């Protein structure tokens, strides 16, 4: 019987970083406070002492500069992992990510891959206000040349990094800040996982709930509550936001005939809008009710706890949306 380890999401990410550093001498981590401080969310705690300052590099407060340095290192055969403190600050490196990292393989006719991994924290629910709390991964999912990952489980937090490092394209990993303290168990021999397919986290036949990242747990809680009402919801964890796994989503919708998309991004121009459109394009005649979306209110994320909770998707919002689509479907 395989041994099982008790761990947290934070510790799972740290274990993934440590394994990558041990397995490949080309791998190094850099970012603000990743070294002596141990990372702003304590993910890299202890790695500087184990691997030294050549491989755990504290950087100046310039996202454009250190993401650019990561791109250059990747072009020259290294396997850099760049940590950006929050997704909001990644906008300071957007030129590097969009105009350089995402385009160089194409513009060089396939001669210059950029095997760069950028990790960043995303999401609200921690009273960090409007400059540290937005969910902008849908913006990056718009950009060809990037792969966008959103690990929502301990297994994915532990296993996605090594697979991402093997990709010739730049990979952005979005870690929801509310997940770092989530505890659970993992097999001691847990290793790399695939990053091409969405996952069915709960089976059901009445409605498809499609989500990712920090809203997966809320969506599963909503599905449990709905079961008490006689509604069996299937929960799809997208896992990879670009490229989207249409097949898993469409297969689910064709069986349940109803869909609710849960997305912590803003509704307008959102990832939820893209998913909704793909369902309509590929499975319109399988739908028995209009698609519902549960998104963040279109405001900067408030600091006050009661306002923040009102602004972002909650279990009750998901349950209410499901009741609407089930009622609309007769």
Contact 238, 212 (CB under 8 A): yes
Q: Do β-strands 79-86 and 147-149 pair in parallel, antiparallel, or remain unpaired? A: unpaired
Q: What is the pTM of this model?
A: 0.96
Q: pLDDT of 52-99, one tens digit each? A: 999 999 999 999 999 999 999 999 999 999 999 999 999 999 999 999
Question: What confidence tier does 1 reach under pLDDT thresholds 50, 70, 90?
Answer: low
What's the pLDDT at 81? 98
Q: pLDDT of 276-318, one tens digit each? A: 999 999 999 999 999 999 999 999 999 999 999 999 999 999 9
306 catalytic per annotation: no
Instruction: Flag whether pLDDT at 228 surpasses 80.
Output: yes
Instruction: Flag whether pLDDT at 108 surpasses 80.
Output: yes
| Marked catalytic residue, from 63, 83, 274, 292 | 63
- For 44, 93, 226, 245, 255, the CA distances from 49, given in Å and listed in that order, are 10, 28, 48, 40, 52
What's the pLDDT at 328? 67
| Element (DSSP H or E) covering residue 252 | helix 246-256
Q: Do β-strands 117-122 and 147-149 pair in parallel, antiparallel, or remain unpaired? A: unpaired
Q: Which conformational region is residue 144 in: left (phi greater than 0), alpha (psi within -120 to 50 degrees), or beta? A: beta
Q: pLDDT of 118-149, one tens digit each? A: 999 999 999 999 999 999 999 999 999 999 99
Q: Which conformational region is residue 269 in: left (phi greater than 0), alpha (psi within -120 to 50 degrees), or beta? A: left
Contact 236, 249 (CB under 8 A): yes
Q: Name the percent of the chain lying above pLDDT 90.
A: 96
What's the pLDDT at 189? 85
What's the pLDDT at 330? 52
| Marked catalytic residue, from 11, 32, 83, 132 | 132
Contact 219, 211 (CB under 8 A): yes
| Element (DSSP H or E) covering residue 5 | strand 4-8
Q: Which letter, b or e, does each residue of 229-241 get, where b requires 16 or more Cβ atoms within 10 Å of its Cβ? A: eebebbbbbbbbb
What's the pLDDT at 326? 95
How many residues are present in the chain?
Answer: 330
Instruction: Flag whether pLDDT at 329 surpasses 80.
Output: no
Q: pLDDT of 11-58, one tens digit each? A: 999 999 999 999 999 999 999 999 999 999 999 999 999 999 999 999
Cα 162 to Cα 15: distance, rounded to the nearest angstrom: 11
What's the pLDDT at 2? 72
Tokens for 212, please give them.
Answer: 């990712």
CB within 8 A of 218, min separation 6: which ones?
262, 313, 314, 315, 318
Cα 279 to Cα 281: distance, rounded to the nearest angstrom: 5
50 catalytic per annotation: no
What are the residues facing 122 on neighbouring strands? Answer: 176
Alpha-helical (H) ranges within 116-180 are: 137-140, 154-165
Q: For the chain, what is the mean pLDDT?
A: 96
Integer-rounded Cα Rg, in Å, for the chain is 20
CB within 8 A of 166, min separation 6: which ones?
115
Question: What confidence tier does 202 reach under pLDDT thresholds 50, 70, 90?
Answer: very high
């Amino acid at each position: 019987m395989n041994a099982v380890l008790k761990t947290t999401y934070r510790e799972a990410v740290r274990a993934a970083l440590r394994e990558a550093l041990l397995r490949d001498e080309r791998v190094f981590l850099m970012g603000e406070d990743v070294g002596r401080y141990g990372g702003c969310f304590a993910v890299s705690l202890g790695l500087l002492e184990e691997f030294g300052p050549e491989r755990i590099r504290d950087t100046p407060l310039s996202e454009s500069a250190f993401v650019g340095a990561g791109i250059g290192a990747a072009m020259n055969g290294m396997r850099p992992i760049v940590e950006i403190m929050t997704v909001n600050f990644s906008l300071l490196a957007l030129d590097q990510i969009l105009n350089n990292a995402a385009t160089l393989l194409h513009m060089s006719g396939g001669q210059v891959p950029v095997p760069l991994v950028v990790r960043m924290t995303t999401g609200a629910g921690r009273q960090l206000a409007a400059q540290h709390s937005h969910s902008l991964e849908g913006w990056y999912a718009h950009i060809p040349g990037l792969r966008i990952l959103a690990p929502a489980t301990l297994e994915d937090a532990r296993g996605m990094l090594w697979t991402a490092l093997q990709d010739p394209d730049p990979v952005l990993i979005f870690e929801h800040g509310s997940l770092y303290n989530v505890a659970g168990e993992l097999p001691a021999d847990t290793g790399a996982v695939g990053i091409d397919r969405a996952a069915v986290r709960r089976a059901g036949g009445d409605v498809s709930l499609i989500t990712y990242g920090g809203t997966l747990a809320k969506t599963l809680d909503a599905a449990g509550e709905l079961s008490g009402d006689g509604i069996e919801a299937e929960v799809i964890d997208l896992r990879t936001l670009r490229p989207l796994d249409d097949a898993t989503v469409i297969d689910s919708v064709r069986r349940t005939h109803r869909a609710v998309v849960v997305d912590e991004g803003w509704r307008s121009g959102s990832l939820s809008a893209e998913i909704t459109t793909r369902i309509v394009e590929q499975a319109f005649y399988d739908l028995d009710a209009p698609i519902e979306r549960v998104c963040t209110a279109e405001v900067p994320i408030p600091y006050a706890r009661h306002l923040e909770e009102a602004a972002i998707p909650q279990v009750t919002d998901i349950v209410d949306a499901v009741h609407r689509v089930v009622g609309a479907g007769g």
